[in-house]
Structure 1
Amino acid sequence: MKYKVFIDGQHGTTGLELDSRLAAREDIEQIEIDPEKRKDPEARKACLNAADIVFLCLPDAAAKEAVALIENPDVRVIDASTAHRVSSGWIYGFPELEKIQREKIRNARRVAVPGCHATGFNAAVYPLRAGGIIAGEYPLVAQSVSGYSGAGKAMIVQYEDTRKTDPALKSPRLYALGLHHKHLPEMQAVNRLEKPPLFTPMVGPFRQGMLVLLPLRRELLKKDLDAAALRDYYAAYYHEEPFIHVMPFDDQSSFDGCYLGADGANGTNRLDLFVFGHDEEILVVSRLDNLGKGASGAAVQCMNLMLGLDETAGLRA
């Protein structure tokens, strides 16, 4: 049996990644819209309502518009935009958060895929909240550095074409310095935090890959765990999860000398979780492909669950 899939926004960064991942699938039939009719509401509406699964790879307003065009009650939607991540009636597409999350996704009609920064943050924070290791009022601080592909086609063109020799692009660059990054609402809501984390993202001079850093102070934890014990807690929490790899404590096997790069999970749907530190200070690091587990890979993982297929189908761990 072949399932009919429509990617609305097929020519954006996430849409192209999805298209590539699905093209090799013999169990998937992609619904294609005539390129000349991509902005024709009726043609788009017909494609949306003919699918078993619709992927939305669109700006927020366009994603909401697409959902409004769906009249067929059998169509199931996976939204990769920010539009519905904290919306009522939508299931958050992170199967590994807790055991019941996977079942929620399997039965969902509407799934919102997490943001890439939020994926790394949630992988580190949610187990701490679930295990009562940090309280909702813990003053969380997080940083991340991501490849420029996470910002979409316009920035890819800057780095690879129009400004590729510009010295300003050779350095990591901070952004969202007003401290209102678009992933903050889901970071706060999913982890049941009283306040959003103080989050500072950076874009780096490389195409893809991501590190998300979460520093913790032992004296502020609700349970007395040092860095090594916290690593063991994560290992038990994510035991047998195919796409989350908890690395050995203070693991440096994937270092380049004394440096941990952001690209070690590229081309996979894997998230590597590292724990470093000592008796008093702890650093949790999530490493993922911002276009994989941070976007299209996560969307395919959710699709597999929603269609009752092997969750790992078409994905590399």
Structure 2
Amino acid sequence: MSVRVFIDGAVGTTGIDIQDRLAPRGDITLVTLAEDRRKDAEARRGALTDADIAILCLPDDAAREAVALIGDGATRVIDASTAHRVATGWVYGFPELEADQAAKIADARFVANPGCYPTAFLALVRPLVRAGLVPADWPLSFAATSGYSGGGKTMIAEFEQGRTDTAFRAYALGLAHKHAPEMRGHAGLTHPPIFAPSVARVYSGMLGEVPLPLYALPGRPTIAAIEDCLRGAYADSALIGVAPCDGGAIRIEENAGTDRMTLRVCGNDAAGQARLVATLDNLGKGAGGAAVQNLNLMAGLDPLAGLNL
């Protein structure tokens, strides 16, 4: 028996990607809504409550409205917006975050899909905080660059229709990005990291980096100790791997077109400095791929079905 899935917001970049992944699958039946009824509240309510699982690819306020439309119905929800990522009653949809996270997702009614930037940050930082290698109150920073598809249709048009000639652009300079609470809360930090996001002239891909002054950390951990911690955390993961840092360049496009994430620990033990680097696809493990992985877990299906390995 197939699982009935409704994608509310299937016209956006993430929604289209998820729909394309699910459409060919025999274990999924897509509940659809005609374009002219997409903003009709009663039509949406019908589609939402007719589904076993609804995936919300919407702005925050519209996502909250969708949850209200479902009400006490039986429909389970995956929300790809930022509306519920630190909300009480919602399970964070990063299966590899903790040893029991996949099981929590499988049993949850409400799952908040992670953001692409927090996925990279948390993959690098959470194991180190959990192991005590990085104190919870340490002043961390996170510099990350995304492909322009992360900005949705508006940014895609800006880059592809000649509305900008920039190759690289920093933004969120006021240090109040909406991903900061998510990164702080799920990493177990006392303070949010200094988050420095940017966008590059590449369609998809992401490269995020956390610098660490090892000489200043309690216990002065070595690069090998940091790498061993990350390898242990993801030893059983099919999607997250730790690669050696060979001193060469790391490309933002390394995992573009896949649902993989690669972590590296680069640095210099003599100087006591390290650079933790994560690469992933902002539309894959950072968005649509994560939603499909969570859907698989919630529906009791192969966790890797529909993913690009």
**Is residue 275 of structure 2 the alignment partner of residue 295 of structure 1?**
no
Tell me the distance in 2 between the aligned counterparts of 1:222 and 1:116: 30
Tell me the secondary structure at the aligned position of residue 20 of structure 2.
helix
Judge conservation of contact 1:128–1:134 (CA < 8 Å) in 2. yes
**Is residue 112 of structure 2 the alignment partner of residue 116 of structure 1?**
no
Tell me the secondary structure at the aligned position of residue 136 of structure 1.
coil
Judge conservation of contact 2:128–2:229 (CA < 8 Å) in 1. no
> Which runs of structure 2 are paired with 1:159-308 in the superposition (5 Å)?
159-163=159-163, 166-167=164-165, 169=166, 171-248=167-244, 250-251=245-246, 258-279=248-269, 280-308=272-300
Q: What whole-Å deviation, never above 9, does each CA across 1:239-277 have from its counterpart, x for those lacking one? A: 0211101112x236xxxxx43211111121111001100
Tell me the distance in 2 between the aligned counterparts of 1:26 and 1:162: 41
Shift of 1:40: 0.8
Shift of 1:192: 1.7
Q: Which moved more, 1:54-63 or 1:96-105?
A: 96-105
Tell me the distance in 2 between the aligned counterparts of 1:24 and 1:246: 32
What residue identity is the alignment partner of 1:85?
R
Correspondence for 1:255? none
Shift of 1:224: 3.3
Judge conservation of contact 1:251–1:274 (CA < 8 Å) in 2. no
Q: What whole-Å deviation, never above 9, does each CA across 1:177-231 have from its counterpart, x for those lacking one? A: 0011110010011112111101100100111100010000112333432112311
The structure 1 segments of at least 4 consecutive aligned residues displaced by more than 6 Å after TM superposition are: none
What residue identity is the alignment partner of 2:178?
K
**Is residue 91 of structure 2 the alignment partner of residue 101 of structure 1?**
no
Segments of 5+ residues of structure 1 without an aligned counterpart are 253-257
Correspondence for 2:42? 42
Q: What whole-Å deviation, never above 9, does each CA across 1:21-78 have from its counterpart, x for those lacking one? A: 1112111110110111111111111000000110000000000000000035321100
Q: How many residues align?
A: 307
> Which runs of structure 2 are paired with 1:23-172 in the superposition (5 Å)?
23-71=23-71, 73-163=73-163, 166-167=164-165, 169=166, 171-172=167-168
Q: TM-score, normalised by structure 1?
A: 0.94
Q: TM-score, normalised by structure 2?
A: 0.97
Tell me the distance in 1 between the aligned counterparts of 2:4 and 2:150: 27
What percentage of residue pairs aligned between the two structures are identical? 49
Tell me the distance in 2 between the aligned counterparts of 1:120 and 1:215: 13
Q: What whole-Å deviation, never above 9, does each CA across 1:56-106 have from its counterpart, x for those lacking one? A: 000000000000000353211000000000000000000101111111101
What residue identity is the alignment partner of 2:176?
H
Q: Please report the RMSD computed on the Cα atoms of aligned residues, expressed in angstroms.
A: 1.1
Judge conservation of contact 1:121–1:187 (CA < 8 Å) in 2. yes
